[in-house]
Every structure is written in C-alpha cells, then in structure tokens.
C-alpha cells in the first residue's frame, strides 16, 4: 500500500511488449538489450533535457546568489528592510513570469520548446547587456533594475518552468522517471557550479557567465529538444513498443511526425517512416 500503482494502460502495454519480446527470446523487465535500445534512440533527448536543465539552473540560481550584490549596487547603504523589499519586488516579477508561462505553455503557437528557447535567448541577451554595460549601469540604477527584473521574469517564462516539464514528456513511461532523474541531477550540478564559481569571480564576470549559460541552453534547445506540445504522450509509448520489439520501421504514427521531433532527430531521419494514413489503418485493424 506504500507504493504507487501503475495505470491500466501502462500495464497493458508492458504485457504486449513482454509477449513480443518473449517471441524473440528476450526478457521484458529492463533487460540489457532494452537499455541499449532506449539509450541509442533517446540519447539526443537526454542530452537536451540534461544540458538545458543544467544551463537553466546555473543562470537562475546564479542570479539569486548575487541578489545581495545587485541591491548594494542599486541602493548603496540600504537597510535590511529595504533589501527585503527589493528582493520581494524581484520575486513578484518572477511570479508574474511563472503565471504567464502557465497561461501560454499549452498554446500551439508557443508551446514548450519555443518558450524554453525564447527564455534562454532573453537570459543570454539580458545578462550579456548587464555584463557589457556594467560600469555604466552602476550609475543608472533604474536601467539596472529593469534589466535585472526582466531576467527574473524570463527565467520563469522560460527554462525554470519548462525544463522539468519537457524532461517528463519526451520519454516513454517505462524509462521516464529514470531519464527525468538524470536531467534533474544535471540541473542541480548546474546550480552547484554557479554557487562555486560566483563566489570566486566579480559581479561583472558572473553576468557574463550567466549569459554563456543562456546561450548554451538556447543552442541545445533549438538543436536537440523536440516539442511535444499537442502530442498525445501515449504515442511515445506506442513507438517505444515497436522499438523494443525491433519493429521500429513499422511504427508510422505521430511520435515520428517531424512536427514533434527535434532538429537533430529530423536530420537523423527519425521521421523516415512517418505515414499517418497507414498508421490510422493499422490502429483500426488492432481495434
């Protein structure tokens, strides 16, 4: 009673996979062959979700680490209460970004990948400006505040809201928690790296480092992260059944629709067998 119960859909699909693998003399319970197959197919996604989460953690938590230094630059000699009010304002701006992300993330014209890429781009741009104009901004507190608060906004309307979600949607049920855990661990490594690095460099260098993290996150998102907005995640499980049964070329459904694949996956021709009409007819026969 202390364990979570698997859904009926998941149990049924595992049963089907077990039957297909048994016919090939293979075991269904996370055999070595299964791990080889899923890693060979999903490694670009693991690379994307892990590195993006690490970059997001570096930029977001790094930003929080030099909050006190930012306040000292904007309001020299601020009292403890004034510092807390500035932190509250920054958190309020971030909260608005979070609610904007919740409102937009399921919109087809926005979605997960576009939101994450847009957030990383804005973090790169804003942190780069704060680093490049650091000497000037020290004497213009209003402009400094605007850029800094905007970076908090786009951290939420971007990677801090999307990285944990995409890492839970681009993998089949059987290995989802495993790869999500790897991605989350990478995010913590990114946050830890920021904590170690920022304590040994100047505030200006910290802004440049955060800009670099934003650029890295942007590139890996654009190149390797598929957009699952609008995709029935059951299709990823269907595709995985074919993959485990060594019948991947016979899967022609929406999980290999170019719309739901990354740029790298399209280059690797993961969509070579996509044929929605044939897949629909096949599903009709299965029913």
Residue 116: inside a domain: yes
Residue 184: inside a domain: yes
Which mean pLDDT values do the consecutive 10-residue runs of the chain (287 residues) have?
63 62 54 78 96 95 77 77 87 95 92 96 96 86 89 95 95 91 96 91 91 98 96 93 88 95 96 91 70
Regarding whether 101 and 172 lie in a shared domain, the answer is: yes
First to last CA, the chain: 34
> If we measure between CA atoms, which residue out of 170, 153, 199 comes closest to residue 47?
170
Regarding whether 123 and 45 lie in a shared domain, the answer is: yes
Within 10 angstroms of residue 33's Cβ, the number of other Cβ atoms is 14
Residue 18: inside a domain: no
What pLDDT does residue 257 have?
96
Residue 230: inside a domain: no
Regarding whether 201 and 256 lie in a shared domain, the answer is: no
Regarding whether 270 and 134 lie in a shared domain, the answer is: no
What pLDDT does residue 76 have?
77
> If we measure between CA atoms, which residue out of 251, 199, 238 comes closest to residue 13?
238
How many domains does the chain divide into? 2
CA dihedral 192, 195, 200, 206 (to 10 degrees): 110
What pLDDT does residue 256 have?
96
Here the tokens at position 202 are: 């100047």
What pLDDT does residue 62 have?
81
> If we measure between CA atoms, which residue out of 130, 114, 127, 121 comes closest to residue 162?
114
* Residue 147 and residue 129 in contact, taking contact as beta carbons nearer than 8 Å: yes
Regarding whether 251 and 154 lie in a shared domain, the answer is: no
- Last residue within a domain, chosen from 170, 193, 224: 224
Regarding whether 256 and 139 lie in a shared domain, the answer is: no
* Residue 251 and residue 92 in contact, taking contact as beta carbons nearer than 8 Å: no
Domain ranges, residue 103 = 35-224
What pLDDT does residue 80 have?
81
Euclidean distance between CA atoms 159 and 152, whole angstroms: 11
Regarding whether 149 and 217 lie in a shared domain, the answer is: yes
Regarding whether 265 and 150 lie in a shared domain, the answer is: no
Regarding whether 180 and 44 lie in a shared domain, the answer is: yes
Regarding whether 280 and 219 lie in a shared domain, the answer is: no
* Residue 230 and residue 111 in contact, taking contact as beta carbons nearer than 8 Å: yes
Burial (0-12, 13-18, 19+ Cβ within 10 Å), 88: exposed
Regarding whether 211 and 140 lie in a shared domain, the answer is: yes
- Give per-residue burial for 243-267: e unless 16+ CB within 10 Å, then b: bbbeebeebbbbbbbeebbbbbbee
Regarding whether 253 and 154 lie in a shared domain, the answer is: no
Residue 83: inside a domain: yes
Query: What is the number of residues in the chain?
Result: 287
Q: Which SS3 state, helix, strand or coil, does residue 139 take?
A: coil
- Last residue within a domain, chosen from 175, 190, 224: 224
What pLDDT does residue 210 have?
94
What pLDDT does residue 94 have?
93
């Amino acid at each position: 009673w202390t364990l979570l119960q698997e859904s009926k859909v998941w149990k049924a699909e595992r049963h089907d996979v077990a039957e297909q693998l048994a016919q090939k003399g293979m075991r269904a319970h996370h055999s070595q062959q299964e791990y080889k197959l899923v890693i060979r197919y999903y490694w670009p996604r693991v690379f994307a979700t892990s590195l993006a989460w690490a970059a997001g953690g570096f930029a977001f938590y790094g930003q929080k680490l030099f909050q006190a230094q930012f306040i000292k630059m904007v309001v020299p000699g601020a009292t403890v209460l004034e510092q807390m009010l500035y932190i509250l304002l920054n958190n309020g701006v971030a909260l608005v970004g979070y609610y904007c992300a919740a409102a937009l993330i399921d919109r087809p014209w926005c979605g997960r990948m576009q939101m994450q890429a847009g957030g990383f781009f804005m973090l790169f741009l804003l942190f780069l400006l704060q680093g490049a104009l650091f000497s000037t901004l020290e004497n213009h507190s209003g402009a400094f505040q605007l850029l800094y608060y905007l970076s908090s906004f786009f951290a939420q309307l971007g990677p801090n809201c999307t990285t944990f979600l995409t890492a839970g949607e681009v993998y089949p049920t059987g290995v989802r928690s495993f790869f999500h855990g790897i991605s989350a661990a990478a995010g913590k490594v990114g946050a830890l790296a920021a904590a170690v690095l920022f304590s040994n460099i100047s505030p200006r260098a910290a802004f440049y480092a955060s800009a670099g993290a934003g650029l890295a996150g942007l590139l890996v998102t654009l190149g390797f992260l598929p957009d699952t907005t609008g995709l029935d995640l059951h299709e990823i499980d269907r595709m995985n059944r074919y993959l485990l049964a060594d019948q991947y070329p016979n899967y022609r459904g929406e999980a290999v629709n170019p719309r739901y694949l990354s740029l790298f996956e399209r280059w690797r021709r993961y969509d070579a067998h996509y044929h929605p009409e044939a897949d629909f007819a096949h599903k009709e026969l299965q029913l």
